[in-house]
Amino acid sequence: MTSIPSDLIAKEQALAPSAGSFPMQATTQSPSKILVVEPHPTLRTVLVQRLRHDGHLAAAVGSAEEAVDLCRDQTPDLLVSAELLERNSALRLSQQLGCSVIVLTARSGVEPIVGLLDEGADDVLHKPFGLEELAARCRTLLKRRRIGLQERVAVGPLEVHLLLRQVTLQEKPVELSPREFALLCALLMPPGMVRSREELLRMAWPPFSGGPRSVDTQVLTLRRKLEQAGLGEGGGITTVRQQGYRFSLDSLPG
């Protein structure tokens, strides 16, 4: 499992002892590494606690200098940073670290937000903001990053072309709606992993939309389309009782 640098975790714990350590569980997909850079000690403690709640390896420092020093050997997946830092800025820091950034700005109005986005920020949040909104925006950016790491996913005779947003079975196209395509991608990353309804909602639905029944309905239609395409009974998607769904390799035709 990929881990965030031990000195980065130690530094964060020294700065914010109340945050504690997130109890990580074994998983086939490495948790995302998020670095919070925020001069205000109370705010950075609260942000780390919330991000750890989602299972991220989150750590925090108070300055850009500390961030650069602690990330020499490993790049975070995402930076959450105050806009203005001593002798630096969130945008310059993200360029130095080579990662996406959510900028936290205290400036009011629309113009500063538009300016930051035009200058290269991946997302901008105006202080004060809700913790749930920040968590949702982090999930969205990290999901885009995971999907962008690959152009094509192949499982047996099934191929998913991520950039073209096309699905083929034995080189024949399978027509899916945008939501069905996103759901299939979530089930295939990685294939064989059980995904709860809550996970599928986070990965395949926009923030704060849909519910468990929406997942069940979309799984049903996706199954039917994959069955009709020739993938076998259930379309390769199996229900794991009281847990969720998984794309079962065993269901694929030989």
Average pLDDT, the chain: 80
Question: Residue 39 corresponds to which tokens in the numbers above?
Answer: 């001069």
DSSP code for 195: B
Q: Taking each helix axis from N to C terminus, what angle separates 41-53 and 6-15, rounded to the nearest 10 degrees?
A: 130
**CA–CA separation, 90 vs 14, rounded Å?**
23
Residue burial 138-152, b: 16+ Cβ < 10 Å; e: rest: bbbbbbeebbeeeee
Question: Residue 151 corresponds to which tokens in the numbers above?
Answer: 């152009």
State how far Cα 55 lies from the chain centre: 10
**For residue 205, is pLDDT > 90?**
no
Residue burial 53-67, b: 16+ Cβ < 10 Å; e: rest: ebbbbbbbbbbbebb
Residue type, 163: L
Which pLDDT score is estimated for 198? 87
Alpha helices in 25-177 (DSSP H): 41-53, 64-70, 90-97, 110-118, 131-148
Which SS3 state, helix, strand or coil, does residue 235 take?
helix
- Ranking 80-84, 139-143, 159-163 by mean pLDDT, the lowest is 159-163
**CA–CA separation, 247 vs 234, rounded Å?**
10
What band does 244 get if pLDDT is binned at 50, 70 and 90? very high
Q: What are phi and psi of 70, to 5 degrees?
A: -85, -10
Task: Give me the architecture of the 152-251 domain, per CATH.
Answer: Orthogonal Bundle (1.10)
Span 62-89, average pLDDT: 86
Task: Give me the architecture of the 6-148 domain, per CATH.
Answer: 3-Layer(aba) Sandwich (3.40)
**For residue 82, is pLDDT > 50?**
yes
**For residue 36, is pLDDT > 90?**
yes
Give the containing element (helix H, strand E) for 217.
helix 212-226
Q: What are phi and psi of 227, to 5 degrees?
A: -60, -50
Higher pLDDT, 189 or 179: 179
DSSP code for 115: H
Question: Residue 59 forms beta bridges with which residues?
Answer: 35
Which SS3 state, helix, strand or coil, does residue 41 take?
helix
Residue type, 61: V
Which pLDDT score is estimated for 31? 84
- Ranking 3-12, 105-114, 179-188 by mean pLDDT, the lowest is 3-12
Cβ within 8 Å of residue 243, ≥6 positions away? 194, 196
Domain with CATH 1.10.10.10 in the chain: 152-251
What band does 95 get if pLDDT is binned at 50, 70 and 90? confident
**For residue 109, is pLDDT > 80?**
yes
Domain with CATH 3.40.50.2300 in the chain: 6-148
Which pLDDT score is estimated for 135? 94
Question: Residue 27 corresponds to which tokens in the numbers above?
Answer: 């998983």
Total Cβ atoms within 10 A of residue 228: 11
